[in-house]
Amino acid sequence: MVPLTHALVLAAILFVIGAVGVFIRRNAIVVFMCIELMLNAVNLTFIVMAQKVHSLDGQVIVLFVMTVAAAEAVIGLGIILALYRNRRTLDVDEIDLLKW
Amino acid sequence: MIPLLFYLFAFVALLAAVLVIVKKNPVICALFLVLAMLCLAVIYLLLGAEFIAAIHIIIYAGAIMVLFLFVIMLLNLDKEPRATVKGRFYKMAAALLGVILLGVVAGAVGLLSIPERGVAVVAEVDNTKAIARLLFGRYLLPFEITSVILLVAIIGAVVLVKKKL
């Protein structure tokens, strides 16, 4: 069968890759894609745990996470579109009006 | 055989994830993210979650990433000269924080001692039927609340892109 600890380590590495991507990328859409990558890593963790304790609750939680991720993608991309319409840039380094 | 498949798709998923954060063109990043999601769906299949694997492909690769690609192509950016943050300091700080976070999360994985709970059915019924029994039985309230979340998302999307309210 699938080595469960290695699958958890894979999920951890994917999460960290997504987190590093959020830090270093400047395009707002790519930052959002890295957030989706983090959510996928969390989904993998839930499913591995569901296999480990022989319970299907983890898989039901994954369904809810996917639905909320879809709703979040819609709203986030709407925000990005409104941002582009007002500031004509998607560079997160240039959107700094809230800095002190 | 199954561990070999797992390692193969895990390697491809890791490679695709690294290329998501490295490539400059956002369309290429989106396509590599789709590849990572497909590899993850195969890993879900190997873990016995075939309904979740199908739903993963339909929702994530079929709906969310298509939405991403729509927005990327709608905005029609010319290629940016700089894709990552300026300065080597931030990149090194991000790499260091990534290593620390990986240590924390992997250490948490190693310290886990999960008690075995034989709660839900796995053997006789197939995955879809078992998930349906849970989703419409025990988790009915979260299911209905999720539909309200989707309604709020639709209203929010319409409000956000209107030119004048």
Backbone torsions φ then ψ of A91, nearest 5 degrees: -80, 120
Model confidence at B124: pLDDT above 70: no
Among A85-99, B56-70, B75-89, the least confident range: B75-89
Nearest-CA neighbor of B82 among A85, A17, A91?
Answer: A91
Say what the pLDDT of residue B115 is.
54
Mean pLDDT of B51-58: 95
Please name the residues between 50 and 79 in chain A that touch chain B, using a CB distance below 8 Å: 50-57, 59-60, 62-64, 66-75, 77-79
Say what the pLDDT of residue B120 is.
44
pLDDT, tens digit (0-9, with 9 covering 90-100), for A21-58: 998 998 999 999 999 999 999 999 999 999 888 888 99
pLDDT, tens digit (0-9, with 9 covering 90-100), for A59-82: 999 999 999 999 999 999 999 998
Best interface-test mutation with B: which of A77, A85, A93 has the largest number of B CBs within 10 A?
Answer: A77
Nearest-CA neighbor of B30 among B46, B51, B44, B16?
Answer: B16
Say what the pLDDT of residue B93 is.
87
Please name the residues between 104 and 143 in chain B that touch chain A, using a CB distance below 8 Å: 105-106, 109-110, 114-122, 127, 130-131, 134-135, 139, 142
CA distance B146 to B8: 35
Model confidence at B132: pLDDT above 80: yes
Nearest chain B alpha carbon to A5: B109
How many CA atoms are closer than 13 Å to the CA of A24, on its beta-carbon side?
Answer: 25
Query: ipTM of the predicted structure?
Result: 0.93
For the whole model, what pTM was predicted? 0.89
Neighbours of B145 (CB within 10 A): 11
- C-alpha distances in angstroms, B90 versus A21, B25, B41, B94? 12, 21, 33, 6
Which candidate from A47, A71, A77 shows the least CB-CB separation from B44? A47
**Look-up: residue for tokens 């039985």?**
B137
CB B98 within 8 A of CB A19: yes
Q: Find the angle CA(B128)-CA(B133)-CA(B139) to the nearest 5 degrees.
A: 115
CA distance B146 to B149: 5
Mean pLDDT of B41-49: 92
Residues in chain A: 100
How many CA atoms are closer than 13 Å to the CA of A45, on its beta-carbon side?
Answer: 18
Distance from CA of A56 to the nearest CA of B (A): 6
